[in-house]
Amino acid sequence: MSQETIFDKIINKEIPAEIVHEDELCLAFKDISPQAPTHVLLIPKERIATLCDLKDEHKELMGHLMIKSTEIAQKLGLHENGYRLVANCKDDGCQSVNHIHFHILGGRAMTWPPG
């Protein structure tokens, strides 16, 4: 397995995070450098480096993440006005941590392209 990431340390409770959801498959926590009034990161507990590394065996996990992203957005009060769900992939996609993660962004109108 590749080098341990900051997300591994958060999953293992080695460094603190403001957790908004946790279950057996995933963890969601507030981003320490928010790009919107609400900015939460949703990660699988299984480390998969990038979206390019997904395989058929990950279908159930990825479906779980999508369902949890909507539940978390609702819990955070983002359903009425909407929110953005973003996944970056590799260097050109601006992926900063080699562990698949989704940004749940809301609390203001989003612009395109993102800054």
Q: Is residue 111 part of a domain?
A: no
Torsion, CA 12, CA 16, CA 19, CA 24, rounded to 10: 10
Number of domains in the chain: 1
Q: Is residue 42 part of a domain?
A: yes
Average pLDDT over residues 13-41: 97
Q: Is residue 113 part of a domain?
A: no
Rounded to whole angstroms, the Cα distance separating 61 from 77 reads 24
Q: Is residue 114 part of a domain?
A: no
99 is catalytic: no
CB 43 within 8 A of CB 99: yes
Pairing between strand 102-106 and 38-44?
A: antiparallel
Distances (CA, A) of 32 to 8, 15, 28, 58, 62: 16, 12, 12, 28, 24
Instruction: Supply the range of the domain harboring residue 82.
Output: 6-106
Q: Give how far the C-alpha of residue 42 lies from the chain's centroid of Cα atoms, to the nearest Å.
A: 3
Among residues 21, 39, 58, 101, which one is catalytic?
A: 101
Q: Is residue 81 part of a domain?
A: yes
CATH number at residue 66: 3.30.428.10
pLDDT per residue over 47-99, tens digit each? 999 999 999 999 999 999 999 999 999 999 999 999 999 999 999 999 999 99
